[in-house]
Amino acid sequence: MTASLRTAVRDARRVVVKVGSSSISGPNVGQIDVLVDALAAAYGRGVELVLVSSGAIATGLPFLDLEGRPTDLATQQAAASVGQSVLVHRYQQSLDRHAIVAGQVLLTAGDMEDATNRQNAQRAMERLLGLRILPIVNENDTVATHEIRFGDNDRLAALVARLVHADLLVLLSDVDALYTRPPHLPGAERIAEVPFGDELAGVEIGSIGRAGVGTGGAETKVSAARLAAQGGTAVLVTATALVGEALSGGELGTWFEPSPIALALSAAPHGLGAPAPHAAHPGE
């Protein structure tokens, strides 16, 4: 990442951070404190933050005596119902160390496709940010169906970034960056920067994350990064363990440049108190 890009990270005033199930559940539950410490440091600099967190189903599994992610929808919904409250409680316990209060926001794909619901969600998050509350966003798995759902929280995070007109989206996983091929294979090289519109020709997109827990991977992160970039939000893909360094502008991860046209539109005068315009996403 070039010096100018590192500066762009440090200068971002509104940031959406997304963390996956495998990074904050099971043996990695201790990384919640690592994540919260990094968020608190940015919060202390005056950054407005939104956290998109997977993990409700994975967190609920032990309470249902399940060892792996269930395949039937009803059991997924039951695990999410139990796990969501535990997950938010764990976040709030960690946030208490920094005197930060969290607010829970649960969304469905239908909410983002319906203009009224989308506006309500945007208004609620804007108010939470104005009150210096940390919105913690997740898919509402207890009412989501196989037919109508985001599919993964990387896409949800990209849509949230566009909804709140974020300057930066940070997509976290178990791997420090995107690579030219799956990072465990010989010859894999880190991709430091992806110019807007780059199709990543010749790149072998592999999986990211602890198998059997989450639903995302490198492919979903690339797709989400492109969706956010189209709306004018820059994207950084890196590992949860490196989130503190990432939010401080460290030279790591993979940077996706935002659309220059969308950036120009958001920088143009658009009326006192009005939200900056953004490119349309599905449902608009």
Distance (Å) of CA 157 to CA 4, 173, 186, 202: 24, 13, 31, 27
Residues flagged as binding site for substrate: 54, 141, 153
The top-level CATH class assigned to 3-267 is alpha beta
pLDDT tens for residues 66-109?
A: 988 888 889 989 999 999 999 999 999 999 999 999 999 999 88
Residues flagged as binding site for ATP: 18, 173-174
Say if residue 217's pLDDT is above 90.
no
Nearest C-alpha neighbor of 104 from the set 87, 118, 117: 87
Residues flagged as binding site: 18, 54, 141, 153, 173-174
Global pTM? Answer: 0.87
pLDDT tens for residues 162-213?
A: 999 999 999 999 899 999 988 888 999 999 999 998 888 778 875 444 444 4
Per-residue pLDDT, 152? 73
> Residue 72 contacts by C-beta under 8 Å, 6 or more apart in sequence?
none
What distance in Å separates the CA atoms of residue 280 and residue 216, rounded to the nearest whole number? Answer: 24
Give one DSSP letter per residue of 157-196, joined into a string.
HHHHHHHTT-SEEEEEESSSS-BSS-TTSTT--B--EE-T
Do the beta carbons of residue 281 and residue 227 sit within 8 Å?
A: yes
Q: How far apart are the first and last CA of the chain?
A: 33
Helix-helix angle 31-44:73-95, to 10 degrees: 50
